[in-house]
Amino acid sequence: MDAPATLVWMDPEPPDAEQARALSSWGRAHGVKLAAPAKAAAKALEVDVRPGDAVEALLDGARDAIAARDRDGVDRTLSSAESTLRAHPELPQAAWLMAEVMRARATQWRHVPPADPEAAETAWLRAEAIDGGRVPGVGEVASARHPQPATVAVAFSPLSPDDAELWLDGARAPSDVVATRAGVHTLVAKWGGAPIWAGWIEAPAGSSSVWVDAPGALGCSVDDVARAHRPSEAAGASTDAIDARHVRCETWVAAFGGAAQGVVRVATCDKDRCGPAFAWRASSTSMPWTWSPEAEPASDRTGVPWAAWGLAGVGVAIATAVAIVAAEALQPAPTEVRFVSGGIKKQ
């Protein structure tokens, strides 16, 4: 059985019929089954709304305990609410609920003995740092101070998606450098509208940075192999070279058109390393799977990223190649004259 390999066509236009046939010929000759990159995104985090509902119920219980001056009851319910939110930063309402937990703490320390006005001030400030503040409710006392400004620079790991979105406290961040307030915050990375990484961060006053190790594209998917490209001549590299940095696909094949009609140049790759590209042309239609590598004149083609063509081109290449194979396989066998005992026989 042919070994599978992902085909990455690196020209801006899909391969023509001759190039597609050459790709099929190359695969058959090398025992490789070429396949299109998978349409698979990074695994999204599962968002379950039930923990958020549980926190809402715990907050109601904490307010009842504050009214009853039940210190143990307040501590128990608020600690449970905070622990639940810490475990689920991916919840869309996690930041807002955490702010309400902080305000419940502030109210506890003002009204449930023993009172602690300084702790109440700090808790109210931390709540305002998350949601920007709100008007105090019945029994609540706002802080006379405000949280200090903070700036957080977010650095993604090299394997994270290039177009991942950042969301801070439930709001889309306009860039990787986020202006906020000193305190605790939720940070969520989304890709394609779905969360792929989430966590709580503590932003100090002033400037700070945080590292986000969001999962990248699945190996051999469209987004994974789209990282590969051919360096331009302006970069001083050979146009036959393949820059495959950060590609995670175990086994794949990079291909692009050669200088001569019907010639393709093919390189085999293993993750982020590719071998040299060799010229290949399919044989005549009468002998579809006999082959021989052919010399190709020097080319002055410039490298064009595979992403400029996309998955559709890969599908065209494979579909065209399969169609050519089928058409040739169904052709009637040529008539052959054979000399046998008793005369001449056509077969």
**Domain carrying residue 76:** 50-212
Q: For residues 54 and 231, is the Cβ–Cβ distance under 8 A?
A: no
DSSP code of 6? E
User: For the chain, percent helix, then strand, then coil, each to nearest 5?
Assistant: 30, 25, 40
In a domain, 338, yes or no: no
Q: What local confidence, expressed as pLDDT, does residue 155 receive?
A: 94
CB of 232 closer than 8 Å to CB of 303 = yes
Q: What is the pLDDT of residue 150?
A: 98
165 and 249 share one domain: no
Place of tokens 């039940």: 70
Same domain, yes or no: 21 and 70: no
Backbone phi, psi, residue 322, to 5°: -65, -40
Who contacts 30 (Cβ-Cβ below 8 Å, separation ≥6)?
none
Contact 187, 213 (CB under 8 A): no
Q: Is residue 336 part of a domain?
A: no
Same domain, 60 and 136: yes
Nearest-angstrom CA–CA distance, 184 and 122:
12
d(CA 123, CA 207): 22
171 shares its domain with 311: no
If asked whether residues 296 and 155 sit together in one domain, one would say no
- Sheet order of strands, 177-181 included: 177-181, 149-156, 206-212
Question: 273 to each of 230, 248, 334, how far by Cα in Å?
Answer: 13, 10, 45
Same structural domain for residues 67 and 115?
yes
pLDDT for position 41: 66
How many C-beta neighbours within 10 Å does residue 272 have? 15
* Residues 72, 105 within the same domain: yes
Same domain, 128 and 246: no
Give the chain's domain count: 2
Model pLDDT, residue 267: 96
SS (H, E, C) 169-224: CCEECCCCEEEEECEEEEEEEEECCEEEEEEEEEECCEEEEEEECCCCCCCCEHHH
Residues 282, 146 share a domain? no
d(Cα 332, Cα 326) in Å, to the nearest integer? 12
Instruction: Give the pLDDT of residue 157.
Output: 86
Written as tens digits, the pLDDT of the chain (347 aa) is: 578 999 999 999 999 999 999 999 999 999 999 999 988 766 789 999 999 999 999 999 999 999 999 999 999 999 999 999 999 999 999 999 999 999 999 999 999 999 999 999 999 999 999 999 999 999 899 998 999 999 999 999 877 877 789 999 999 999 999 999 999 999 999 987 889 999 999 999 999 999 998 887 788 988 889 889 998 755 555 667 899 988 889 999 999 999 899 999 999 999 999 999 999 998 765 344 333 444 444 433 333 333 333 333 434 344 444 333 333 333 444 444 343 334 444 44
**Residue 335 is assigned to a structural domain of this protein:** no
Question: Has residue 86 been placed in a domain?
Answer: yes
Q: Are residues 197 and 238 in the same domain?
A: no
Q: Tell me, yes or no, whether 241 lies in a domain.
A: yes
